[in-house]
Structure 1
């Protein structure tokens, strides 16, 4: 059996100081809590990820079970000081293991990984997410909060419990959410259309749609944006192996051929994906 190399904090610090991306390393968990049925928020301490993570980037978390070789990718949902949070659904053995960890336990991480949302321009960013696509949009709102020339509106869809509204409302200028009993995110976008387009007409800049969630939802969001000629960036959710482009497991069809979600994405424009044209 091949032993796993787990670098110490000093080794990670030396790698960063030398200008290298830090390897897989062990961090301390500071909090684990259930937000809703089978929805868990896990927080760990990692100064490098906390400083360098960008909206829609993800981290790999590794199981303590040597039989589970592949890590689980999770979008960064919030950063506070040197602490990084992720939110996930408990859907299998790996996520069940993570949900049973406690403050003071350790876990191996790698990240941040992937290409982030492009948010340099001043705009009204409309953060559209559904289900477990919500967490990366919380962090997007956090990164955009208080920036001059920028407004944010969160448009979230849930199956039932509105587990993330309290988090995103700390940062977004406006939060609107809906669950399956009422409709979906397109229902909300239709309701908000007048306000969103009026913002652009008043010189505040066209809305820019940033979205993450189930594939049918994102295709519908892309079509909604295309019909109104609005820019739309989509963070793809895909099964991954390595998380950095070696295993070629997470490919997605684009107008430029098959690309890797982990390395070429996870963020793509609707034009790249050929959606809503």
Structure 2
């Protein structure tokens, strides 16, 4: 079904302040950034206008036997085009990576709770591997403000696939791979300069859970607030299947509904 058939539905949903239903959109670009890592772009006016950093979208397989969607954090918005970056790790991502411009895919979103970037502060964006994409959208949103300085700290296994996108929006980009150390190595190097700026600092982080726990602990020792975008495996993506729960101070919470963004305090990772 062509995207234009949904224009009235999207307009109605936007006016009512809710996410429209699953719909078919046009794929506009699919490109390999490094072996096994793909940047996937589609056109959708509603997601482009309404997504906030840290939120995600669901993509659906064309195979009717594959019922569950795949959730992906938004990495960039350009006009009415929305980009995602993901690793090809199974039949779902293999299918999406094989699409080309002019193909169609079913999508639902934006979903989940975003980062809170309303505070007048400097922002430190700390990402690891395929947790980096949501931070790229955060850098894009923050680049539109004159009241903050953004520093991207990115860790990779090997190929630095996202530096070029981070550099479009962040004031500073620092990256490292496993041959040199990890994001904590960079944070220690950067900390004296961050202190000299004399501004409130807020960390936004996404990546493997052990990395984010280490970042949250590093931040807590320095009195820095941290927000973490969790990467739990999701089923439905909107709170029905209860497959993506995480422990918080208030008990088990569904990442797709209560998150994916949580504060370090909510998760009990700030040792307070």
Q: TM-score, normalised by structure 1?
A: 0.94
- Which residue number in structure 1 is paired with residue 92 of structure 2? 94
2:24 alignment partner, SS class: strand
Name the CA distance, whole Å, in 2 between partners of 1:21 and 1:240: 18
Q: 1:53 aligns with which of 46, 51, 54?
A: 51
Q: 1:160 aligns with which of 145, 158, 180?
A: 158
User: Deviation digits for residues 123-172 of structure 1, max 9, x if unmatched?
Assistant: 11000000000000000000000412111000000010000000010100
Name the CA distance, whole Å, in 2 between partners of 1:41 and 1:193: 32
1:219 alignment partner, SS class: helix
User: Deviation digits for residues 22-73 of structure 1, max 9, x if unmatched?
Assistant: 0000000000000001000000000100000000000000000111100000
Q: Structure 1 residues 271 and 97 mapped into 2: Cα distance closer, same or farther (>3 Å)?
A: same
Uncovered stretches (5+) of structure 2, i.e. residues with no partner: none
Name the CA distance, whole Å, in 2 between partners of 1:66 and 1:191: 50
Matched, 1:16 2:13: yes
Matched, 1:112 2:110: yes
Contact 2:14-2:46 at 8 Å conserved across structures? no
Name the CA distance, whole Å, in 2 between partners of 1:63 and 1:43: 16
1:178 alignment partner, SS class: strand
Name the CA distance, whole Å, in 2 between partners of 1:178 and 1:17: 41
Uncovered stretches (5+) of structure 1, i.e. residues with no partner: 1-5
Matched, 1:261 2:255: yes
Name the CA distance, whole Å, in 2 between partners of 1:260 and 1:38: 29
1:8 alignment partner, SS class: helix
Structure 1 position 247, deviation (Å) = 1.2
Q: 1:126 aligns with which of 124, 127, 144?
A: 124
Name the CA distance, whole Å, in 2 between partners of 1:227 and 1:95: 39
Name the CA distance, whole Å, in 1 between partners of 2:255 and 2:229: 9
RMSD across aligned C-alpha pairs, in angstroms? 1.3
User: Deviation digits for residues 154-213 of structure 1, max 9, x if unmatched?
Assistant: 00000100000000101000000000000000000000010111212xxxx221000000
Q: 1:271 aligns with which of 216, 240, 265?
A: 265
Contact 2:19-2:110 at 8 Å conserved across structures? no
